[in-house]
């Protein structure tokens, strides 16, 4: 089964009979191997392969997955929008408002909040940090390996770590979460599959698909997830939030930052 696990994309849509033929064995032997790995049957194994394919997807895989293929630019544009809609629909169908309420409580009770991310996920980390600062929360960010090590070293049991990384997981982010857990901090991961190593080291994990048909990742669903997280946090202590934004609105109306 090693070739299947190393290259799940090549085997993802095969029936068990076709999979056995490709592996040079028979159906019964393949089924025994699947059950020997702990799966109830082949359908469950195929779902696992799907998650594994998501975790290991590359930019090339994303572009080749487009249904538009070699069609016109408008066809590719519409194909991309359709995929974004599917990502958002999946997030909307999986949102648990009670979990978000518990998340907001943890945010407000934390002594310190550490936000970990890197590469493209850096923009999500800064977006979350900007709004946490507006709420007056004790937030710190780490987007480079050295910063992650130094920040995580000082964490403890009263601290909260929120780490963002997708697919196979960025080493600095996953290691940061793992080390934070050894310090006793509570870890919340934001990723796109439960097979992500970030999910394995987190106490709790929120999923948002970044599947796309271009050479990068689509952050429509992760941004929507961050927005509902911020809504939960802002309204958990609504009176305090209103007091802060009332003060901020005066600067927004006539502060020196704004062009007249």
* pLDDT tens sequence across 108-130: 999 999 999 999 999 999 999 99
Does 129 or 38 have the greater pLDDT score?
Answer: 129
Supply the DSSP symbol for 9: G
Q: What does pTM read for this prediction?
A: 0.81
Give yes or no for a contact between 35 and 15, defined as CB atoms under 8 angstroms apart: no
* pLDDT tens sequence across 40-86: 888 888 888 888 777 777 766 666 666 656 678 888 888 889 989 99
254: pLDDT strictly greater than 80: no
Residue 74's pLDDT is what?
A: 86
Residue 69's pLDDT is what?
A: 62
Domains 2-86 and 90-251 alike in fold? no
pLDDT band, very low/low/confident/very high, at 190 (cuts 50, 70, 90) = very high
* Three-class DSSP labels, 54-108: HHCCCHHHHHHCCCCCCCCHHHHHHHHHHHHHHHHHHHHHHCCHHHHHHHHHHHH
Supply the DSSP symbol for 119: G
**Shortest CA distance to 241 belongs to which of 143, 133, 95?**
133
* pLDDT tens sequence across 7-35: 887 887 888 899 888 888 999 999 999 88
Residue 194's pLDDT is what?
A: 86
- Count Cβ atoms below 10 Å from residue 108 Cβ, excluding itself: 15
Assign domain 90-251 to its CATH superfamily: Glucose-6-phosphate isomerase like protein; domain 1 (3.40.50.10490)
* pLDDT tens sequence across 216-249: 789 999 999 999 999 999 999 999 999 998 888 8
Give the rounded percent of residues in the chain with a pLDDT score beyond 70. Answer: 95
Residue 255's pLDDT is what?
A: 76
**Shortest CA distance to 140 belongs to which of 123, 119, 163, 116?**
116
Average pLDDT, the chain: 90
Domain boundary assignment for the chain: 2-86, 90-251
Please, what CATH class does the domain formed by 2-86 belong to? mainly alpha
- Count Cβ atoms below 10 Å from residue 22 Cβ, excluding itself: 14
């Amino acid at each position: 089964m090693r070739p299947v696990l190393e290259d799940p994309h090549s085997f993802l849509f095969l029936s068990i009979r076709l999979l056995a033929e490709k592996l040079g064995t028979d159906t019964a032997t393949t089924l025994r191997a699947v059950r020997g790995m702990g799966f109830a049957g082949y359908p469950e194994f195929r779902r696992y392969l799907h998650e594994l394919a998501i975790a290991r997807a590359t930019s090339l895989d994303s572009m080749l997955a487009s249904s538009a293929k070699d069609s016109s630019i408008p066809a590719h544009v519409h194909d991309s929008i359709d995929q974004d809609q599917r990502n958002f629909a999946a997030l909307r169908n999986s949102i648990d408002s009670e979990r978000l309420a518990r998340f907001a409580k943890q945010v407000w009770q934390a002594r310190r909040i550490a936000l970990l991310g890197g590469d493209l996920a850096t923009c999500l980390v800064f977006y979350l940090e900007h709004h946490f600062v507006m709420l007056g929360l004790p937030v710190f960010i780490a987007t480079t390996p050295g910063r992650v090590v130094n920040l995580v070293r000082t964490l403890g049991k009263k601290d909260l770590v929120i780490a963002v990384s997708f697919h196979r997981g960025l080493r600095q982010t996953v290691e940061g979460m793992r080390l934070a857990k050894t310090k006793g901090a509570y870890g919340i991961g934001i990723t796109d599959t439960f097979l992500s190593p970030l999910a394995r080291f987190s106490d709790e994990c929120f999923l948002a698909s970044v599947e796309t048909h271009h050479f990068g990742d689509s952050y429509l669903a992760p941004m929507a997830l961050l927005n509902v997280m911020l809504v939960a946090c802002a309204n958990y202590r609504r009176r305090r939030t209103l007091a802060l934004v009332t003060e901020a609105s005066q600067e927004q109306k006539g502060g020196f930052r704004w062009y007249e």
